[in-house]
Amino acid sequence: MNSWLKLLRLPHLAAQAGIDRDVNAGIRLNFLYAACASGLLRQLRQWKQRSELEPQFETLDAMLDVGVALGELKRDGNRYRISGKRALALSGQDGDPLAALIEEFVTCHAAVYQDFGNLSAQSGKGNYLAGKGELIARSSRVLEPFMVEFVQSHVAGKGPLTMLEVGCGSGIYLHHAACANPQATGIGIDLQKDVIAETSERLVEWGLAPRFRVRYADIRQTCAETTGPFDLITLYNNIYYFPETERVRLLVSLRERLKPGGKLAVVSLFGGTTVVAANFELVLRSTVGCAPMGTVENFVSQLHESGFREVITKRLIPVQPFFGVTASL
């Protein structure tokens, strides 16, 4: 009884209870990241003896205990298997985007918070995306289900159509465009050489080469293959890699590469008051090579300033400031 009374008299009891829940959520994310990255979850889709599991680290027992305590793993004697929905989703072939999202948060986003206040007062930025091109391309696919309809609507039923995708990443949206319009052709460019190499192979596997191809190139530099003119130019989830002061110049350059009647399609998370938007804004402002998102209203103004006459916005995720923006000449 005394123990309960002491507990009830603790200062900030409600706050402590809330923080306890937050700590548990943080432990869960770290466990899922480690168990997925190490291959442990894939092994535990079926019952496995402790002795059958790899790698046989000294800390394996402790890791298994954490998984059981979280409810992500089940134990029967000396056997283990997955029991949690999150762990099960991450262990499947279609769980890679979720696994990449967790890895991005644990390794990149968390570092931003850890470094806050310790970075140079002059720059205030860290190189959090160094070597993370492939990871970002994978994690961004969690947005794919919300984008497919928007992506396909710009090419379906349009007949022969040429397109340029700026920041093609994994090439998945080139794939969706190609499926929606068998007469569409195009090129995707990206600044991540390792991503380009894998995407080139992927286009061959999909049977889309040479109808679609990808190249290492910077849209801000002269390149014969990207001068156009094109029927459609797309930028999906990457406008924040261009400084706000350079966006009008970029948009003017893209407009000049379009054929008469051509369109520019942009998808992005924009500035807003949701936790997701606020967190992403902090990450962008803290990372070398990234820039603030700005509001969708500000972006529409930049498009008009760049010479686009008609601009249509469409919210792609309820509540979140995640929009598809279409600009026409």
- Classify the C-alpha dihedral 87-88-89-91 as positive or negative: positive
Instruction: Count up the domains in the chain and report the number.
Output: 2
Whether residue 86 sits in one domain with residue 178: no
Beta-bridged to residue 313, according to DSSP, are 325
Last-in-domain residue among 91, 117, 151: 91
Whether residue 141 sits in one domain with residue 67: no
Reading the block at residue 115, the tokens are 């470094």
Domain that holds residue 316: 134-328
CA-based nearest residue to 219, from 165, 155, 291: 165
Element (H, E) at 216: strand 212-216
Q: How far is CA 278 from the centre of its chain?
A: 15
Looking at residue 1, what is its pLDDT? 54
Whether residue 147 sits in one domain with residue 64: no
Q: Are 270 and 281 in contact (CB under 8 A)?
A: no
Q: Are 328 and 158 in contact (CB under 8 A)?
A: no
* Cβ-based neighbours of 84, under 8 Å, separated by 6 or more: 70, 71, 72, 73
d(CA 23, CA 120): 29
In a domain, 77, yes or no: yes
Whether residue 165 sits in one domain with residue 84: no
Looking at residue 193, what is its pLDDT? 84
The CATH number that applies at residue 271 is 3.40.50.150
Whether residue 40 sits in one domain with residue 160: no
CA-based nearest residue to 320, from 147, 172, 168, 97: 147
In a domain, 118, yes or no: no
Type of residue found at 293? M
Whether residue 198 sits in one domain with residue 311: yes
CA-based nearest residue to 117, from 282, 293, 288: 282
Looking at residue 163, what is its pLDDT? 98
Q: Are 205 and 174 in contact (CB under 8 A)?
A: no
Which portions of the chain are predicted below pLDDT 50? none
Looking at residue 192, what is its pLDDT? 84
Give the angle subtended at the CA of 200 by the CAs of 195 and 201, to the nearest 5°: 105
Give the angle subtended at the CA of 118 by the CAs of 117 and 123, to the nearest 5°: 85
pLDDT tens-digit profile of 145-167?
Answer: 999 999 999 999 999 999 999 99
